[in-house]
Each structure stands twice: as structure tokens, then as C-alpha cells.
Amino acid sequence: MTYRMNQLREKVASCQLLVASERQRRSSLATSNQQLATVPGFTLIELVLVMSIIALMAAIIAPSLRQFSMGRRTKDSAALVVGLAEYARTAAMSEGRTYRLNFDPVQRQVWLTAQDGATFSPPSNEYGERYSLADGVNMSVDLTHQQDGQYVQFSPSGRTQTVHVTLTGPLGDTVQLACASATEVLAVVPAGQ
């Protein structure tokens, strides 16, 4: 009988070990499932909500960015005219020949020409092309119209003609450019002057 009891005890112990190991396995599976369930992430609804907020903000901001770029057009055109005038003045002094900054308010274009004997022709570098003002920017110049157009002349001595240019942008903003005396450079006139 003791032998059978020992066998029975061994079987019970073996079953208890199996049950304990099965419980442990199930417990570890439940823990790993809980860990998988608590892995940080976003649901589809959260992602759609965030994308909707971003789209709404972009729709609100886009018109003001458009107006900002339209407002920059006038200032960019003013920088173009001033840059050409500075180059013409410097080139006239360094090359010893007269330069002209030509204006065509109707076509909204500016360009340089340099004296070549008795005529004026575009310089043979990147400044020899016609530059159009930005879209929507109009120009008025207070120069008398000469036989060969409206222009400001830059002499080799560094002197220039007086001129006043008004650039008006698509939003009604204006930039004033002026060369008030023969020894000044063409520059942007601060507002209120």
C-alpha cells in the first residue's frame, strides 16, 4: 500500500507541477497581452482629428500668406530699380562712360544702356537685359520724355540727374524712390518724407 501511496503522491505532485506551470504560462501570456494592449500609439480617430485641425489652420493662414507675398512685390521691384541704379553709377565711374537707367512705365520695365560712341546700347553682361517689375506693380516717373525715352543718366564723374519714381503695388501700397540732387544715389524715400 505504501508503494501505491507513493505512486499516487508522485502523480499528484506531477499534476500539481503541470497545473502550476500551466498557470504560470497563462499568467505570462496575459501579462504580455496586457503589455501589447498598453503599447503607446494613436487610434485612427485621433489621427483624423489632428489632420482635420491642421487642414483648418492651413485654410485660415493661406490668405494672409498670399497678401504677404503680394505686399513684397512692391518692395522687391524697388530693390531691383535701386540695384540697377547703383550698378549704373558705379560702372559709369569705373569704365569712364555714361550709363542710363531707362524706364518704360507702360510696359513696366527698366533696363540699362551704356554709351558706345555716339549711341547707347545694353551692356554686354547680365545687366544688359530688360527687367519687368513684379506682377501688379505699376510705375510712374517724373522725368521729361526724351526723344529716345525716359531715363536717368549717370556720368563718369559720379553725378546723376534728379529723379522721383513711385511704385504702386497690387494692394495699393507705394514705395517712393528719389535722387534729390546730382551727387546723391537713387534710394528708397522713407515713408512720411
104 within a domain of the structure (yes/no)? yes
* Span 16-44, pLDDT tens digits: 766 677 777 777 766 655 655 566 778 88
| pLDDT tens digit sequence for 149-184 | 889 999 999 898 888 898 988 888 888 888 888 888
The yes-or-no verdict on residue 96 having pLDDT over 90 is yes
Residue 31 and residue 120 share a domain: no
What pLDDT score was predicted for residue 187? 82
Q: Confirm whether 80 is domain-assigned.
A: yes
Instruction: Tell me what the mean pLDDT of segment 99-104 comes to.
Output: 93
| In a shared domain, residues 33 and 111 | no
Shared domain for 6 and 99, answered yes or no, is no
Query: Within this chain, do residues 104 and 165 fall inside the same structural domain, yes or no?
Result: yes
Alpha-carbon gap, residue 176 to 78, rounded angstroms: 8
Residues 98 and 18 in one domain: no
Q: What mean pLDDT comes out for the span 47-65?
A: 86
Identify whether the C-beta of residue 186 lies closer than 8 Å to the C-beta of residue 158.
Answer: no
Number of domains in the chain: 2
Instruction: Judge if 171 and 81 occupy the same domain.
Output: yes
Residue 94: pLDDT band by 50, 70, 90 thresholds? very high
Q: If DSSP codes are grouped into helix, strand and coil, which group holds residue 91? A: helix
- Backbone phi and psi for residue 182, each to the nearest 5 degrees, phi listed first: -65, -15
Q: What cell numbers appear for 3 in the block? A: 508503494
User: The pTM is what?
Assistant: 0.65
User: How many Å apart are CA 51 and CA 59, to the nearest integer?
Assistant: 12
Q: Are residues 177 and 98 in the same domain?
A: yes
3-state secondary structure of 41: coil
Q: Which domain holds residue 165?
A: 72-189
In a domain, 67, yes or no: no
Residues 83 and 11 in one domain: no
87 and 31 fall within a common domain: no
Domain-located, residue 16: yes
**Domain co-membership, 83 together with 158:** yes
C-beta of residue 123 within 8 angstroms of C-beta of residue 97: no
Which of 164, 162, 107 has the alpha carbon at shortest distance from 131?
107
Confidence band, pLDDT 50/70/90 cuts, at residue 88: very high
* Residue at 131 is within a domain: yes
Query: d(Cα 103, Cα 184) in Å, to the nearest integer?
Result: 19
105 is a domain residue: yes
Closest of 80, 101, 118, 77 to residue 161, by C-alpha: 101
Measured CA to CA, the distance from residue 31 to residue 39 in angstroms comes to 12
